[in-house]
Amino acid sequence: MTATNLLEVRNLTTGFRLRDNEIRVVEGVDFDVKRGEVLGIIGESGSGKTVSCMSILRLLPEHTAIDADRIRFDGEEIAGWPESEFAALRGRRMAMIFQDPVGSFNPVKTIGWHFRHASRRVADSRPELFADRDAWRREAVAVLGRVGIPHGAQILKSYPHQLSGGMLQRALIALILQLRPSLVVADEPTTNLDNIVEHQIIELFQRLKEETGASFLFITHDMSVAAKLCDRIAVMYAGQIVEIGPAKDLLADPKHPYSQGLVRTATELVERVDRLREIPGELPNWRSMPAGCRFEPRCPHAREGCTAAQPMRFPGPGREVRCLLYDG
């Protein structure tokens, strides 16, 4: 492990045990997240973006089988940690923001309760939050102010249902400023917001990144968001990473035929990758996954050899692509 990586994931494989068999929806996923970097994950619906992140955070249901050669976080191998220790890590040093902010809050508790409760978990690293009775509250009002919520004291007395989705996402971002985790996992955090609010929240993420030095795993459907926010991008297809590289290079010159389709349809139609249905064909069935390149049945460049398993190739600085076209 190099000191520059906050998170290292190797050969992550996740399956759901069903009545008669197991379907693997993530297979052989490798990536690093450097300190202070935003790694974007893009790919069409059902490609395994959420499951990959939730596997690392251990937030999947009981019938899930997660396997990895390595999940190293801040220098420690966490894959084998018992749940009790892992839960503490998740509460203190990792934060999550989901599509639906309502789910991140306990509906019968005030926003202030959430700030106090979460602050307690980081009391070891931030004792100043409990320097006196109201220290955590003053800090909460200050961070709420920094995310554009001027009446923080009032907001702390509110219940989640009294706030809009955009306000709740802001409050969560403020909470992250208060807790200072080293890893933030954001799963399409702007998808349910209207355009103006979405734009504001993306700007807040940019500030979060600059002001906290935290690392981000940022799942998005939206190429313009990826372009604005991400340092590097991983493209997922059918449970695998098919390409990874610096965001600017990858978006300007995608190498994998799937990434090319993704970026092209996104720029032509603007906005959302769901439109990827514009690439003819659809995701293969989990039960009959091609043994070789999983995109081969849809690929305009498919040739002999593509039906064999494809390792990563290295077509440029920092770039990796799982495609035979870049052999040699």
Near Ni ion by CB under 5 A, which window of 7-15, 42-50, 261-269, 291-299?
42-50
Smallest separation (angstroms) from Ni ion to the CB of 41:
9
Q: How big is the chain by its Cα radius of gyration, in Å?
A: 21
Q: Give 77 or 282: the residue with its C-beta nearer to Ni ion.
A: 282
Q: CA quadruple 171, 97, 175, 223: dihedral positive or negative?
A: negative
Instruction: Give the number of other CB atoms < 10 A from CB of residue 68.
Output: 22
Q: Give 49 or 298: the residue with its C-beta nearer to Ni ion.
A: 49
The binder of 119, among Ni ion, ligand ATP, none, by C-beta within 5 to 8 A per type, is none
Smallest separation (angstroms) from Ni ion to the CB of 49:
5
Q: Kindly state whether residue 50 participates in binding ligand ATP, applying the rule CB under 6 A.
A: yes
Q: Kindly state whether residue 143 participates in binding ligand ATP, applying the rule CB under 6 A.
A: no
Fill in the DSSP letter of residue 102.
G
| Of residues 8-37, those binding ligand ATP (CB under 6 A) | 16, 25
Q: Kindly state whether residue 294 participates in binding ligand ATP, applying the rule CB under 6 A.
A: no
Q: Give 41 or 163: the residue with its C-beta nearer to Ni ion.
A: 41
**Contact string (CB under 6 A) for ligand ATP, positions 87-116, x = contact:** ------------------------------
Q: Kindly state whether residue 150 participates in binding ligand ATP, applying the rule CB under 6 A.
A: no
Q: Is 144 exposed, middle or buried (0-12, 13-18, 19+ CB in 10 A)?
A: buried
Q: Which of 4, 45, 106, 162 binds ligand ATP (CB under 6 A)?
A: 45
| Residue among 182, 93, 180, 169 nearest 128 (CA) | 180
Q: Kindly state whether residue 49 participates in binding ligand ATP, applying the rule CB under 6 A.
A: yes
- C-alpha distances (whole Å) from 89 to each of 9, 36, 53, 73, 184 are 17, 18, 15, 10, 12
Rounded CA-CA distance 254/279 in Å is 15
The binder of 46, among ligand ATP, Ni ion, none, by C-beta within 5 to 8 A per type, is ligand ATP
Rounded CA-CA distance 259/249 in Å is 12
Q: Which of 5, 14, 47, 50 binds Ni ion (CB under 5 A)?
A: 50
Q: Kindly state whether residue 48 participates in binding ligand ATP, applying the rule CB under 6 A.
A: yes
Helices 165-179 and 195-212, packing angle to 10 deg: 0
Return the exposure string of 251-275: e unless at least 16 CB atoms fall within 10 Å of the residue's CB, then b: beebbbbbbbbbbebbeeeeeebeb
Structure tokens, 64: 């899930």
- Contact residues: ligand ATP, CB under 6 A: 16, 25, 43, 45-51, 61
- Contact residues: Ni ion, CB under 5 A: 49-50
